[in-house]
A and B are shown apart, each in its own frame.
Chain A
Amino acid sequence: MTSRSKWALVPSFFAIAIAATILSAYSGASSSQGVSPVQPIKFPHPVHVKTLGMNCLYCHNSANKSTDPGLPAVGTCMGCHTLIGPNRPAVDGQPARTSEEIKKLQTFAPIGQPDKWKAIPWVRIHKLPEYVRFPHMRHVNAGVTCQSCHGPVQDMAQVSQASSLNMGWCLTCHVNGYQLSEGLKPAGDTAGAAAAAAVEPKKARYDCAVCHY
């Protein structure tokens, strides 16, 4: 490589850097949108939500009363999985089956030995920066569906971050209003969405100090 061509690399590096920065700044790529980490137990949301019809609030039970949505205690899992063990017999026309994941759960929480229970180190997916206050209960009680922000969790075998969680994304609803029909779609409620088409969009305060303090 000649010395001339070596010097030519410097400005081209800067050009690439500037282009990449501008692209990333305006594409939302700086967020963790799309990340889908492997969890210590492959908790199947679809089975619990769609097959069994459980409400989100059964496990995330403070989402409608606290800023913190709440993560189910190990005891909440074991409320059912003490009886629903890893080995399922052939019933209802379904074949017999062994669940490796329920086995894992019961290694964290041996039945009948609560003093040996260990916490399950779930990997965090949705995280807002520490200078943001996000009160879950205000959103849930305003009728915002969980799926509006978290995506169709009921269909996710492994949960991923559906939205960018960038401030611009927040403000789309806070300024223009939250359209209930749009929120019901990812929840899989097409009939509800159609019925809610005429519902007035619901706006929210967008002053900085509502969330940043």
Chain B
Amino acid sequence: MSHTAEPNGVKRRQFLKVLGAAGAATTAVGCTNEKVESLIPYLTSPDNTVPGVSTLYTTTCRECATSCGIIAEVRDGRAIKLEGNADHPVNQGALCAKGQSALQGLYNPDRYRGPMVREGGKLVPTTWDKAIDTLVAKLGESRGAAANALFVTGPDSGSFAGFLDGWLGAYGFGAHTQYDPSADLAVESANRAAYGVSMPRLDFAAAKLVISIGADFLDGWGASVPQQLSFADARGRLADGPRVVYIGARRSLTGLNADTWVSCTPGSEEAIASALLTAVGGSGGTIAAAAQASGVTEATLQSIADELRGAATSLVLSGVSTPNAGAVAATCAAINKAKGSVGVTVKPAEAHSGFGGAVGVGGMQEIVDRANAGTLKIAFFRGANPAYDTPKAMGFAAALAKVPFKVSFSSYPDETADLCDLVLPDDHALESWGDAQAAPGVIALQQPVMERIFDTRATADVLIMAAQKDAALASRFAQKTYRDVLVAKYGSGALTAALPKGVISGTIAARTATTTAATAGAMGGTGDFFLVTYPHATLGVGEGANKPWLQELPDPVSKIVWQSWVEIHPMTASRLGIHAGDHVTVTTAAGAITAPAWPYLGIRPDTVAVALGQGHTKYGRYAEGIGVNALDALGATWNAGGGLALTQGKATVAKAAQRSDLVTLEGSARQHGRGIAQAITVADLVAGVKEEHHALPGDASHEFLPGLRSPVANDAQGDLGDPTSKDKGMYDPNHWSGMAKRRWAMTIDLSRCTGCSACVTACYAENNIPTVGARWQGRSLRPFHTSDGAGWDTRPGANILKGREMSWLRIERYFEGGEDGASDFEARFVPMMCQHCGNAPCEPVCPVYATYHAPDGLNVQVYNRCVGTRYCSNGCPYKVRYFNWHGYGESARRQYAFPEPLHLQLNPDVTVRGKGVMEKCTFCVQRIREAENRAKLEQRELQPDEFTTACAQACPSRAIVFGDAADENWSVAKMVNNDRGYHVFNELNTFTAVVYLKKVNHTAPGAAAAAAPAAANGGAH
């Protein structure tokens, strides 16, 4: 306490007052920043709304075929946040990053603002009356022959499919085609053959052994959120949970969550699956043949076969992307049947009903053929972008040019709409009515949560309007809007009663994809490397690329943002003289792609991998000019289900001349003995082994007592830290304010966390975090040495390359073992945010008390006090403080992160930070205050677990628990005492409010615990 020791000296605070006055004098005097603002009242008050209080609407997420239930938080007429609907049978309250980002589709600044028509070769705005007249005229010209028209939509298991076919039939056209480039058609058709449903529910918790042969069930494959909930529940059983084996040439996020990775040659999965089938009593191949084909040792395959044979319950999944995917999927289904898994871990009776109605890329071949034959007169596209997501080799764009009239219902400009003659922009799913089959007998309802923002129309309404202009058809469309169609279907009363729940019982006639049976291709190509492409975990096959939250969300495996990259094994890279960031050209017969290299242990030395999803040419400001489209290197090779084979064979790999720094949010892939991500083996867990450092410096029960925690922490509180002081103010647990009675804290269970990163996007949505990586947001450090000469650094992610990222919450991914590049390695994921230290290194260094420890345990950042010295960021050992280098919240600046209408999403309860201000995780203090206010309003105390933070709410793994650790009735108070609990950097005496629970590793049976990769605790201490 240096300043109390010199009573006659100038106190820090007084000094700063003087300094502040002098500083202010040098600025202009007497200026005012008061702007005249209008207060615009409602014309008539809407019922049941209170200004400043959110209204919640249930609806259905339409970002993928899973149809999760969501609750849209609407404040004063604007949807500001999406959360999972806890009562929904599919997602039980969780929501993935893609679902969270639906808001950035709704508020996308590049959305069409009204209908467009092609005039003089360009799309120009028109009116709805004229647009519909044009549509009616063209329909009149081509009607009557089924082959004249083709209507392509995205996957839709709702009533719209039947309605659309009725509309098409009225004009004499054939049924529509649903197109889902990310659907795993090989697996869906094998599932239909084996289980009778396209996508059975998977119960990981019922399994003792999970073998995934390329099935990336945590990367967006299948019904993402329910699979993740089930997987996390299974892992949450700790010692009773399943052991997970991943077989594949590339270790995906799912692979990184597995306990063992078996790295096999692409295309050899069929032989391995066949050998496993033999092992469980079926008639398949031999281990020797599988070893021969896959390059995996016989001993390894034998141990897996033995394990599978011995496992009480098992789940074997296939999701390979090679042309023989259908055979692998059928073999895996046969294994599950032989093991008696059907009804135990594979549950056809509880199938995910949204799947099975769509065709894949192969289905688009039909359009190409019909267009080239000249029979197709009119084509419609809604929620599908085949001009981007089909391989160039198919010649889709050229074929489409031969169709006389093309109509797009896309909400956003995309590569397909750009080729169309008429654009009739659809309402966003959050602005329109609909339904979807979520589960057998359960229909999820979709309702508009707000008024439409732009001059758009729901496609179904447009179709009705067109039909009603036709005297012969008008009588067949009695209802004027699609809403009325749904009301007529469900009944007004039943619909009104069901909407608050978001689901209604019933069954919509299922469609089965109308693709012609494809002949599976074969692996081919020449070169030294296999090329594996895969859907990006969050951008998918490209549909997410126009949303800045998803562009700035680090890929869960590589941690790379705003960029494409080529994954290459480190040993291969060094052999070829390739370093991280060096451009690599991958060439196949179909074409070549060039992207920077990212050396990755999780890929075979004879394989390179590239994610799909980037390389857009017409998809709005956030997508264009970012990365490459990996489909450019793929030919038209199908699997048995008619899906595009994403792994088609060999390619040549060559180092290119250029290099680009990798835009990554990763500091280091290794823990260097810091013990950040700790783990324990099942054997140690059962035996109750504790590491010595666990007991330092105090046990958790002591650390979460209310009030101040350590003498050092007192330093940040000025006079309150004086041991002789009687007045501890609000820091006294007995203070009248009662603030110090609470200690907000969080536990994160690493045995459940899969690294999916849904929490990160939820945090961006809740806390108005700007995205900073767009091409126009980077200032050059050397203003006149840039390519544009004007001081702008126009590389994607330029700010992030300079370490100026903004993510309050990041998922750190660490590798353990495998340093030799040959042996298996382990991955650990750690969500890292402000640890709200009881004794925070950031606090005493702040010269203006902008950061301090609040009595209720929060480490607070006061934006209006902050002067931007960044000392706190220097002091923070967790690197969780982020600085506003530019005015991301100021609309006049080029770096503005919320261009109209994205700013409508901003949470009004959270300050939009200004330039020069430090910011960080607040533990969602706005939610704490809101809950306190609500409790006070209802004249009661806060109830345990009454509310939670945005990250914990979204988490599809239920890994995060938040609450008051000083009150034993909150769940978190019990969790902090868990035997697996530890603080990151405990040795720094930071007394953090975040307790991590160690990951649990399931080592292979028979393997000695000592043989597990590295020391189980991450080599800490």
Residues on A facing B (Cβ under 8 Å):
14, 17-18, 20-22, 24-25, 30, 32, 35, 37, 62, 65-68, 70-76, 109, 114, 117-124, 127, 129-133, 135, 137-138, 141, 203-210, 212-213
Query: Which of A22, A30, A133, A209 counts the most B-chain CB atoms under 10 A from its CB?
Result: A209
B2 at the interface (CB under 8 A from A): no
* A66 contacts B862, C-beta separation under 8 Å: no
* B925 contacts A213, C-beta separation under 8 Å: yes
Contact of A62 among B29, B43, B50 (CB under 8 A): B50
* A210 contacts B929, C-beta separation under 8 Å: yes
B577 at the interface (CB under 8 A from A): no
Contacts of A17 in B (CB 8 A): 25-26, 29
* A141 contacts B50, C-beta separation under 8 Å: no
Bitwise interface map of B from 929 to 959 toward A, beta carbon under 8 Å scored 1, else 0: 1000100110000000000000000000000
Given contacts A21-B25, A25-B21, contact A141 B30 (CB under 8 A): no
Query: Which of B36, B50, B926 counts the most A-chain CB atoms under 10 A from its CB?
Result: B50
Given contacts A74-B41, A124-B38, contact A213 B21 (CB under 8 A): no
Measured between alpha carbons, how far is A137 from B932 in the docked complex, in Å? 12
B475 at the interface (CB under 8 A from A): no
Q: Is the interface of B mostly helix, strand, loop or mixed?
A: loop
Interface residue stretch chosen among B152-160, B198-206, B904-912: B904-912
* B42 contacts A37, C-beta separation under 8 Å: no
Given contacts A66-B50, A123-B39, A206-B730, contact A138 B925 (CB under 8 A): no
Given contacts A66-B51, A73-B42, A130-B912, contact A209 B30 (CB under 8 A): no
Of all chain A residues, which has the CB nearest B889?
A: A130
* B21 contacts A21, C-beta separation under 8 Å: yes
Measured between alpha carbons, how far is A76 from B51 in the docked complex, in Å? 15
* B43 contacts A65, C-beta separation under 8 Å: no
B1010 at the interface (CB under 8 A from A): no
Q: Known pairs A73-B44, A207-B856; list 10 more (Cβ under 8 Å).
A: A17-B29, A22-B25, A68-B52, A74-B43, A121-B38, A123-B39, A127-B34, A207-B730, A208-B854, A212-B864
Of all chain B residues, which has the CB nearest A70?
A: B51
Measured between alpha carbons, how far is A23 from B38 in the docked complex, in Å? 31
Measured between alpha carbons, how far is A17 from B863 in the docked complex, in Å? 27
Please provide the chain B residues from 725 to 764 with a CB less than 8 Å away from any CB of chain A in the complex: 730, 736-737, 739
Contact of B922 among A25, A210, A213 (CB under 8 A): A213
* B936 contacts A24, C-beta separation under 8 Å: no
Contacts of A208 in B (CB 8 A): 852, 854, 860, 862, 865
Given contacts A75-B43, A213-B925, contact A70 B38 (CB under 8 A): no
Within the complex, the shortest CB–CB distance from B397 to chain A, in Å, comes to 47
Measured between alpha carbons, how far is A115 from B30 in the docked complex, in Å? 46
B855 at the interface (CB under 8 A from A): yes
Of all chain B residues, which has the CB nearest A26?
A: B21
Within the complex, the shortest CB–CB distance from B101 to chain A, in Å, comes to 24
B892 at the interface (CB under 8 A from A): no
Of all chain A residues, which has the CB nearest B926?
A: A213
* B912 contacts A21, C-beta separation under 8 Å: no
* A213 contacts B38, C-beta separation under 8 Å: no
The size bracket of the interface on B is 35 or more
Query: Which of A76, A109, A123, A131 counts the most B-chain CB atoms under 10 A from its CB?
Result: A131
Measured between alpha carbons, how far is A32 from B32 in the docked complex, in Å? 9
Contacts of B858 in A (CB 8 A): 209
Q: Is the interface of A mostly helix, strand, loop or mixed?
A: loop
Contacts of A75 in B (CB 8 A): 42-45
Contact of A65 among B44, B53, B911 (CB under 8 A): B53
Contacts of A205 in B (CB 8 A): 730, 737, 739
Measured between alpha carbons, how far is A208 from B21 in the docked complex, in Å? 22
Of all chain A residues, which has the CB nearest B46?
A: A73
Please provide the chain B residues from 704 to 736 with a CB less than 8 Å away from any CB of chain A in the complex: 730, 736
The 4 nearest A-B residue pairs measured at CB: A68-B52, A75-B44, A73-B42, A66-B52
Give the number of residue pairs across the A-B interface with Cβ within 8 Å. 147
Measured between alpha carbons, how far is A138 from B41 in the docked complex, in Å? 23
Measured between alpha carbons, how far is A129 from B858 in the docked complex, in Å? 23
Of all chain A residues, which has the CB nearest B39?
A: A122
Q: 6 A–B contact pairs at CB < 8 A?
A: A22-B25, A74-B43, A119-B40, A129-B864, A133-B929, A206-B730
* B912 contacts A70, C-beta separation under 8 Å: no
Contact of B862 among A14, A124, A212 (CB under 8 A): A212
* A74 contacts B42, C-beta separation under 8 Å: yes
Given contacts A133-B929, A213-B926, contact A120 B41 (CB under 8 A): yes
Measured between alpha carbons, how far is A66 from B51 in the docked complex, in Å? 7
* A137 contacts B912, C-beta separation under 8 Å: no
B22 at the interface (CB under 8 A from A): yes
Given contacts A18-B22, A213-B926, contact A127 B739 (CB under 8 A): no
* B45 contacts A135, C-beta separation under 8 Å: no
* B52 contacts A21, C-beta separation under 8 Å: no
Within the complex, the shortest CB–CB distance from A82 to chain B, in Å, comes to 13
Contacts of B37 in A (CB 8 A): 123-124, 127
Contacts of B10 in A (CB 8 A): none
B686 at the interface (CB under 8 A from A): no
B24 at the interface (CB under 8 A from A): yes
Contact of A119 among B41, B51, B739 (CB under 8 A): B41
* B860 contacts A14, C-beta separation under 8 Å: no
Contacts of A71 in B (CB 8 A): 39, 41, 51
Contact of B52 among A67, A120, A123, A130 (CB under 8 A): A67
Bitwise interface map of B from 9 to 35 toward A, beta carbon under 8 Å scored 1, else 0: 000000000000110111001101010
Contacts of B856 in A (CB 8 A): 207
* B933 contacts A135, C-beta separation under 8 Å: yes
Of all chain B residues, which has the CB nearest A77?
A: B41
Given contacts A20-B29, A22-B21, contact A123 B36 (CB under 8 A): yes
* B50 contacts A21, C-beta separation under 8 Å: no
Of all chain A residues, which has the CB nearest B23?
A: A21
* A76 contacts B45, C-beta separation under 8 Å: yes
Contact of B38 among A32, A123, A138 (CB under 8 A): A123
Within the complex, the shortest CB–CB distance from B405 to chain A, in Å, comes to 38
* B25 contacts A121, C-beta separation under 8 Å: no
Within the complex, the shortest CB–CB distance from B731 to chain A, in Å, comes to 10
* B34 contacts A73, C-beta separation under 8 Å: no
Contacts of B862 in A (CB 8 A): 208-209, 212
Contacts of A124 in B (CB 8 A): 36-39
* A131 contacts B863, C-beta separation under 8 Å: yes
Measured between alpha carbons, how far is A203 from B736 in the docked complex, in Å? 9
Contacts of A122 in B (CB 8 A): 38-41
Contact of A73 among B38, B45, B736 (CB under 8 A): B45
Given contacts A123-B36, A212-B862, A213-B929, contact A73 B53 (CB under 8 A): no
Contacts of B854 in A (CB 8 A): 207-209
* B21 contacts A131, C-beta separation under 8 Å: no
Contact of A207 among B34, B36, B739 (CB under 8 A): B739
Of all chain B residues, which has the CB nearest A125?
A: B39
Contacts of A127 in B (CB 8 A): 34, 37
Measured between alpha carbons, how far is A20 from B909 in the docked complex, in Å? 35
Contacts of B24 in A (CB 8 A): 21, 25
Contacts of B42 in A (CB 8 A): 73-75, 119
Measured between alpha carbons, how far is A141 from B30 in the docked complex, in Å? 38
Contacts of B29 in A (CB 8 A): 17, 20-21, 24
Contacts of A118 in B (CB 8 A): 43
* B50 contacts A131, C-beta separation under 8 Å: no
Within the complex, the shortest CB–CB distance from B184 to chain A, in Å, comes to 44
Contact of A72 among B41, B737, B936 (CB under 8 A): B41
Contact of B50 among A65, A72, A74, A210 (CB under 8 A): A65
Measured between alpha carbons, how far is A206 from B912 in the docked complex, in Å? 22
Of all chain A residues, which has the CB nearest B924?
A: A213
* A213 contacts B911, C-beta separation under 8 Å: yes
Measured between alpha carbons, how far is A136 from B398 in the docked complex, in Å? 62
Within the complex, the shortest CB–CB distance from B838 to chain A, in Å, comes to 15
Of all chain A residues, which has the CB nearest B21?
A: A22
Contacts of B52 in A (CB 8 A): 62, 66-68, 70
Of all chain B residues, which has the CB nearest A64?
A: B937
* B22 contacts A119, C-beta separation under 8 Å: no
Contacts of A135 in B (CB 8 A): 929, 933
